[in-house]
Amino acid sequence: MRENKRKVFVAMSGGVDSSVVAGMMKDEGHDVVGVTMCFSINHPDSKKPSCCGVDGIQDARRAAQILDIPHYVLDFAREIDQYIIEDFTNEYLSGRTPNPCVRCNQYLKFGTLYAKVKSLGADYLATGHYGRIEYNEVTDQFELKKAKDLKKDQSYFLYSMRKEILPSVLFPLGNMTKGEVRALARKYKLNTAEKPESQDICFVPDAGYKKFLEDRVGNRVFQPGDFVTHDGSVVGKHKGIAHYTIGQRDKLGIALGHPVYVYKIDKETNTVHVGPESCLYSAGFYAGQLNPVSISIPQEKMEVSARIRYNAPETAAHLTYLDGGRVLVEFAAPQKSVTPGQSAVFYKGDVVLGGAIIDEPIALEEAKFEIRSTKLETNSNNKIGLCP
């Protein structure tokens, strides 16, 4: 903790992590208040645990009662629709693959909720995220860092935080493992101690995002178009670009006698481009909406470790700032399935430098990469990435 007794508002989702954070803050002697965001989301037939539905609110309220702290529920139904669900819908309809959890952190948890608790007198907002915020004496600024438990690290989803709020945000679980957290939950006798984790998008029901989009926008999601191969041949009809994402192989509904993958989605022509696995590889990408959470905007090309999706390994790259929040990222070696709409996050060691939203992959240049692989389907020159 950065100072002695302070007023700490804890964002309580109804899960074990945030419940334990509330107990930890009380143990440290702070004036603790629990707050839960209500999104008016309820899937009564769902068999999955949710962090945002009625059950989550009830679990958060019960945990607060056990800990003997005040608890309030705040209505965020309008905000989640405006900032998260509408963007989610529009991105899929544009042939992009969004990451709503990143936007939820940016606009809701560390946007509207942060502003609300500060207006109520909070010194800090604490959450159950697995990440760290530490002060760097050399640079004289706070930095966002990976969690100690890399298997639980959520720094990828946190890069969109504004750097000016870092001094007023606490991640008490950043140096803990999940096992240690559950042990504390048992010590506090919390109702959430054995509660399973929620891994899915809270507003998407069990039937999946395609059914969600169908229910929300109707026929707009079902505009058939052409499947086009990497050599320009039309090989079938797709069901609407919102049904596909970069790297997809299954459920395409076309049989060419060999595996093909979605490697490009063109909204303007309503075309889904498919080709061999080699077409999935890119030399880099352009991205927008850069948020340099732990650094200043880079004035020169800089070396970074880039992660192009949550479950992807970091890869060596060079980052160049262009203008208007746009960056150029060039890989040291070709990378697979660079997906527009996804977040790319940049690291240096355990420090989260920042991140951006991928706009456009850069096709491999024949002279730049001549990487050969027995695992890839390659052209006659045995080079990869020569797809239009």
Q: Are residues 148 and 51 part of one domain?
A: yes
Least Cα distance to 169 among 105, 112, 123, 108 occurs for 123
109-124 average pLDDT score: 98
Least Cα distance to 203 among 15, 10, 46 occurs for 46
Q: Are residues 284 and 355 part of one domain?
A: yes
Q: Are residues 113 and 232 part of one domain?
A: no
Beta-bridge partner residues of 335: 282
Quick one: CA torsion of 381, 385, 387, 388, rounded to 10 degrees?
-120
Is residue 175 included in any domain, yes or no?
A: yes
Active site residues: 104, 202
Least Cα distance to 352 among 285, 293, 312 occurs for 293
Is residue 100 included in any domain, yes or no?
A: yes
When divided into structural domains, the chain yields a total of 3
In angstroms, what CA-CA distances link 365 with 12, 230, 282, 304? 49, 16, 9, 22
pLDDT at 238 over 60: yes
What residues make up the domain containing 309?
Answer: 279-363
Q: What is the CATH number of the domain that holds 32?
A: 3.40.50.620
**Rounded-to-integer distance, Cα 68 and Cα 194, Å:** 20
HSE (side-chain half, CA atoms, 13 Å) at 313: 6
Determine the distance from the C-alpha atom of residue 5 to the mean position of all C-alpha atoms in its chain, rounded to a whole number. Answer: 33
Is residue 209 included in any domain, yes or no?
A: no
pLDDT at 3 over 80: no
Q: Are residues 228 and 117 part of one domain?
A: no
pLDDT at 376: 39
Is residue 145 included in any domain, yes or no?
A: yes
Mean pLDDT score across all residues of the chain = 90
Q: Is the pTM of this model over 0.75?
A: yes
137-161 average pLDDT score: 96
**Rounded-to-integer distance, Cα 175 and Cα 350, Å:** 13
Q: What is the CATH number of the domain that holds 294?
A: 2.40.30.10
Q: Are residues 251 and 159 part of one domain?
A: no
Is residue 370 included in any domain, yes or no?
A: no
In angstroms, what CA-CA distances link 323 with 286, 287, 298, 300, 352? 12, 11, 11, 12, 21
pLDDT at 109 over 70: yes
Q: Are residues 270 and 314 part of one domain?
A: no
Q: Which of 230, 247, 275 is the last residue of a domain?
A: 275
Is residue 32 included in any domain, yes or no?
A: yes
Least Cα distance to 194 among 52, 68, 63, 72 occurs for 63
Using CA of residue 84, residue 270, residue 362, residue 323, what is the dihedral sign?
negative
Q: Are residues 29 and 161 part of one domain?
A: yes
Is residue 239 included in any domain, yes or no?
A: yes
pLDDT at 61 over 70: yes
- Of 105-109, 178-182, 203-207, the poorest mean pLDDT is in 203-207
In angstroms, what CA-CA distances link 184 with 15, 181, 188? 13, 5, 6
Q: Are residues 169 and 92 part of one domain?
A: yes
Is residue 374 included in any domain, yes or no?
A: no
pLDDT at 245 over 80: yes
